[in-house]
Structure 1
Amino acid sequence: MAKRQLPVIGTYAATITTLILALFGLSGCGGGTNASGGTTSTTTTLTASAATVASGASVTLTAAISPTDATGTVTFYDGTSSLGTATISSGTASLATSALSVGTHTLTAAYGGSAVYASSTASTVTVTVTAAASTAIDTSTYAVSVAATASTYSAADLVTNTTFDTTVIIDFTANTARLSSGTAQAITTDGVTLLSSGGTSIAVTKTTYGITISSTVATNVMYVLSGQLNGTLTVSSSSAYQLYLNGVAIAGTAGPALDLESTQKVFIVSAAGTTNTLADSATRSMTMKAALYGKGPMVFGGSGILGVTGSYKHGIFSNDYVRVCSGTLTVAVSAKDAIRSVNGFIFDDGILTVSATGTTTGDESKGIKVEGSESTGAGKGYVVINGGYLTVTSVGKGISAGWDIDEDATTTDTSDDPSPYVEINNGVITVTTTGTPYEYTSGGTTVSCSPEGIEGKTNLTVNNGYLTISTTDDALNAGKAIVINGGYLYCASSANDAIDSNGTLTITGGVIVAIGSSAPEAAFDCDQNTFTITGGTFVGIGGTTSTPTASTSKQYSVILGSGTKGTTMALKAADGTVVFAFTIPQSYETMLLSSPNITAGTTYTRYTGGTASAGTVFNGLYVNSLSYSGGTAGKSFTVSSYVTNAGS
């Protein structure tokens, strides 16, 4: 009898073959029944080593496959773009990448499957890449005071150089006053005379509004103040004097906390280890326009803490100049300007924090403003910063030397004019403005808000320092000239120019990142006046740019076309030398850059989408020992002039 033969064709043979191969963990020439792997289901789970990383930093992606004995490879994706493939070992596969651009990335991982195990795709995870933060920059070096070598140096403004022949001790809580060598006496409305000699005296009197100190002695007097006073301390002095704040809290009930009626210099010194407060009343009978009001120069010092709160108008006002030598000073106002003076503001050292939140239309709060005056301040009206830590947050202008010859001059004689310049010699300076710029005419009067960061109505000079200026109007503005000789400057405007000179603009050194708004605003704007570049490393992006003046420049600059947010771009020579690299924080129409690394006669190619590194990264600008890998080559150009317009 013939043997019965089993079918060996069609699906039966294929099914038997597949089962045998699966049983022994083998694969055939035609693969399994599923084009993406075997029939055993799998799950893939993706994790990232960090949810947020800085640009250029590495993030590790790990895919865990279940069952853990699955074999094969995992491909990692940024959206639909492959980041790379890794082999599974003990149920996991990992990939480290530093190629993610600035922005938010949706990542996933896909297991390719095997003869036994089916493929699977992980749920997405999100990784945010931030613009590279400053690295290897010791900002404390920029806080070191250089006041002793500044043009505004005055040995007479150092409290340690001043002799105080008499010391008066006042305890407000106890309501007593005494000489340092005397017995405490109660302060009454009749007054207590502490010293009387040759027709001069020192007297302390209780008044309707608080306590008044009257001194007619010719020598300097030191007043040691402690305790709580609900009222105003008024001081009238025939000579220079010191207010030594030794744990004092003064709260004006019908006026300022301090009313300093003397035109003599006052040293306001916060004792070490103490916290002192001065606050005024929002409504008042006394009309002085600040919580700390003075008619003469004010010099702040000591190593303690002083907080000034202004609710009526200004926080601190001097009819002469304000100088901060040391200590921690905080000034907060809700109506007008935090610090206002007529003849000058000098910040030598210490920690000064300013908050100005008033929103009155046409008179929004400014941080620090020097008015200038033809009657008392010929050649004055300036702002000078020599070191320390200065932080300003304001609705209106952050720092302003604000006397304007076109708006404020009352005489035709220019010899009595103030000199409203800003000079920055050192300091860690942070300025943020929050107001919305506007200008309109009402009843023939111009009403405006210009929340510029730092403004000098004549010149603005930066010799050194570490500046972070973020504004809604111009970050830096000057009426006649801006000169940048050194330092690190980050200048960004959300609605106007980053660096705007109504006259000339000169850059001789420093590291600068300037970010202007869209057209017609610019990173660098000097109204077609002379724009000279002789040094420094900088980049500016915005809607447009002023063109550097080739005839006066001594360092090469390049103008490029638009760029996209999150992209890291670079300029590379044919031999691979990287002369410039920058991670773009926002899309723009025009870029202006300059570096001492750029040389004449060299052809450079613009690359985008790669990865950069350097010894220092300042707000996305790579400085010192540059390298750049990957990316897509774009337009090439040859530098043949001090200004090269390479377009897009």
Structure 2
Amino acid sequence: MKILRRKLVAAVASVVLAAALLTGCADESGSTASTAASTTPAAVAVDGTQTAEQVLAANTADHAAADAADYDESSVVEIALDGASASADGDGVKADGATVTITAGGTYRISGTLTDGQVVVAAPDATVRIILDGAAITSSGSAAIAVTEAEQAIVILADGSQNTLTDTSSYASDADVNAALFSAADLTVTGGGALTVHGNGNDGIASKDGLVIAAGTITVEAVDDGIRGKDYVVVDGGTITVTAGGDGVKADNTTDADAGYVAVAAGTVTVTAEGDGIDAATDLVVTGGTLAVTSGGGSGTRPDEETSTKGLKAGVITVLEGGTVTVDASDDALHSDGSVRLGGTSVTLASGDDAAHAENALVIDGGTVEVTASVEGLEAADIVLNGGDVHVVASDDGLNAAGSSSGQQGGAGGQQGGAGGQQGGAGGQQGGA
């Protein structure tokens, strides 16, 4: 796990907080409280000061390339799917009944329908571009597309095309290939077309290395995880809709400290997951785009003790610096086992537990944070409010800092509704726990 740099951070800006008073400690009307009290800025030792740029620089670089979708039309090898069989015209590919195997680097265009078959890429150390141009591939025994060997696989959705991948209804517990669109190599999905993925047996789209989504209209339905990359999942564009029985979007490398991250820079991502919405083993970074997540049935559903149903979850640090984020989660809406820094994103959170929870530090440097429903609003060992607008509705503490907290207006130490305040705050003079 990465060791986050510790730094003294002073709270120097105004923040407005509207927080529900403690249950059993509120006034008789049970109304929420809004604070506008000044406190002396205080410096506290926290983590969570890293910018998105710093966090990403400390991680392994993603493989995104501006020319990923570029190819020479004259060199494209055509693959035609015709129901129960396929044919190919060119080098580097062979068709055997309903199985198509690509064995060399190059660009291959796939069109037509395969009712029960598979496209396999076994091209060691090569870059393979697959253009899906009106392709519908269904497999009753494995993945629809399985990249078992390659240096890099690039799936290009032809402009205006509609494409569908459907896999088997079950995989062996030790199966290496276990997603409708599977890659053992770095995988990029891009282009101006549409792709619908049905992950009937396990995951929808999965890479055992890194996964970059650069463009396209992508719809994923999966019985387990929707979109999974081992080293990272990076979204640089596109319109992505995920419905998952497990986690929505996931990076699960827990071995390498510089991997296992999720980054969203642009595009529109909508996730509905029975498990976690976004699950990053290490870092979760949002610098742009629109992210809407519903996990575990939403804030009106009691969290399941056996299943993690957090909205956005990170193992080390979450940094939200741009774009718009909306989360409706059964468990914590925004959770980090390390720290959280909010620095410019418009964030709306609803939770059946904590709206924002950090085991170490929660630092708010700017943007807007609107908590519409929660038990604990903002909870961390250290809470620092440096700027932005923060509004919290909570049935218990609005702010709960186990270590220390600071902020000029409405932060912990305010008169009403803030942790440590005079009225309704935990440990306050009136109604405090």
TM-score by length of 2: 0.76
* Matching residue's letter, 2:349: C
More contact order relative to length (CA 8 Å, sep ≥ 6)? 2
Counting matched residue pairs gives: 361
**SS at 1:331 equivalent:** strand
Q: Deviations over 1:126-159 (max 9, x none)?
A: xxxxxxxxxxxxxxxxxxxx99xx7556564641
Q: Hey, what does 2:292 align to over in structure 1?
A: 430
Q: Hey, what does 1:504 align to over in structure 2?
A: 361
1:354 paired with 2:242, answer yes
Q: Cα–Cα, structure 1 residues 161 and 540, in superposed 2: closer, same or farther, change >3 Å?
A: same
Shift of 1:541: 2.0
CA distance in 2, matches of 1:244, 1:205: 17
Whether contact under 8 Å (1:232, 1:253) holds in the other structure is: no
Q: Hey, what does 2:151 align to over in structure 1?
A: 264
Q: Hey, what does 2:162 align to over in structure 1?
A: 275
Whether contact under 8 Å (1:558, 1:646) holds in the other structure is: no
1:523 paired with 2:377, answer yes
Shift of 1:277: 0.4
Shift of 1:264: 1.4
Between 1:284-293 and 1:314-323, the stretch displaced more is 284-293
Q: Cα–Cα, structure 1 residues 470 and 489, in superposed 2: closer, same or farther, change >3 Å?
A: same
Q: Deviations over 1:27-48 (max 9, x none)?
A: xxxxxxxxxxxxxxxxxxxxxx
Whether contact under 8 Å (2:108, 2:131) holds in the other structure is: yes
Q: Deviations over 1:174-221 (max 9, x none)?
A: 833224xxxxxxxxxxxxxx2xxxxxxx231315x6222222xxxx40
Q: Hey, what does 1:557 align to over in structure 2?
A: 410
**SS at 1:256 equivalent:** coil
Q: Hey, what does 1:136 align to over in structure 2?
A: none
Q: Deviations over 1:378-407 (max 9, x none)?
A: 4111000001100000111000013xxxxx
Q: Hey, what does 2:217 align to over in structure 1?
A: 328
* Matching residue's letter, 2:326: T
CA distance in 2, matches of 1:282, 1:329: 21
Whether contact under 8 Å (1:400, 1:455) holds in the other structure is: yes
Q: Hey, what does 1:172 align to over in structure 2?
A: 81
Whether contact under 8 Å (1:560, 1:646) holds in the other structure is: no
Q: Hey, what does 2:349 align to over in structure 1?
A: 491
Shift of 1:171: 1.0
Q: Cα–Cα, structure 1 residues 175 and 438, in superposed 2: closer, same or farther, change >3 Å?
A: closer
* Matching residue's letter, 1:491: L
Shift of 1:283: 3.7
**SS at 2:366 equivalent:** coil
Q: Deviations over 1:400-443 (max 9, x none)?
A: 013xxxxxxxxxxxxxxxxx11011111110001355233xxxx
Q: Cα–Cα, structure 1 residues 157 and 266, in superposed 2: closer, same or farther, change >3 Å?
A: farther
Q: Deviations over 1:614-636 (max 9, x none)?
A: xxxxxxxxxxxxxxxxxxxxx99
CA distance in 1, matches of 2:71, 2:342: 36
Shift of 1:645: 6.4
Q: Which runs of 5+ in 1 are unaligned?
A: 1-145, 180-193, 195-201, 359-364, 403-419, 440-447, 562-570, 572-589, 594-634, 637-642
Shift of 1:317: 1.3
Shift of 1:349: 0.7
CA RMSD, 1 decimal: 3.2
Whether contact under 8 Å (2:86, 2:100) holds in the other structure is: no
Shift of 1:294: 1.0
Shift of 1:160: 4.7
Please show how residues 36-185 of structure 1 align to structure 2 within 5 Å.
Answer: 151=57, 156=65, 158-160=67-69, 166-173=75-82, 175-179=86-90
Whether contact under 8 Å (1:381, 1:401) holds in the other structure is: yes
1:371 paired with 2:252, answer yes
CA distance in 2, matches of 1:533, 1:389: 28
Q: Hey, what does 1:393 align to over in structure 2?
A: 272
Whether contact under 8 Å (1:559, 1:645) holds in the other structure is: no
Q: Cα–Cα, structure 1 residues 154 and 261, in superposed 2: closer, same or farther, change >3 Å?
A: closer
TM-score by length of 1: 0.52
CA distance in 1, matches of 2:215, 2:148: 24
Q: Hey, what does 2:43 align to over in structure 1?
A: none
CA distance in 1, matches of 2:158, 2:407: 51
1:221 paired with 2:106, answer yes
Q: Deviations over 1:56-110 (max 9, x none)?
A: xxxxxxxxxxxxxxxxxxxxxxxxxxxxxxxxxxxxxxxxxxxxxxxxxxxxxxx
CA distance in 1, matches of 2:111, 2:292: 33
Q: Cα–Cα, structure 1 residues 372 and 168, in superposed 2: closer, same or farther, change >3 Å?
A: same
Shift of 1:302: 0.3
CA distance in 1, matches of 2:259, 2:71: 24
CA distance in 1, matches of 2:234, 2:343: 20
Q: Which runs of 5+ in 2 are unaligned?
A: 1-51
Shift of 1:516: 4.5
Q: Hey, what does 2:123 align to over in structure 1?
A: 237
CA distance in 2, matches of 1:423, 1:284: 32
Q: Which one has a bigger Cα radius of gyration? A: 1
CA distance in 2, matches of 1:352, 1:280: 19
Q: Cα–Cα, structure 1 residues 222 and 592, in superposed 2: closer, same or farther, change >3 Å?
A: farther
CA distance in 1, matches of 2:240, 2:119: 23
Question: Percent identity of the aligned residues?
Answer: 26
Q: Hey, what does 1:546 align to over in structure 2?
A: 399
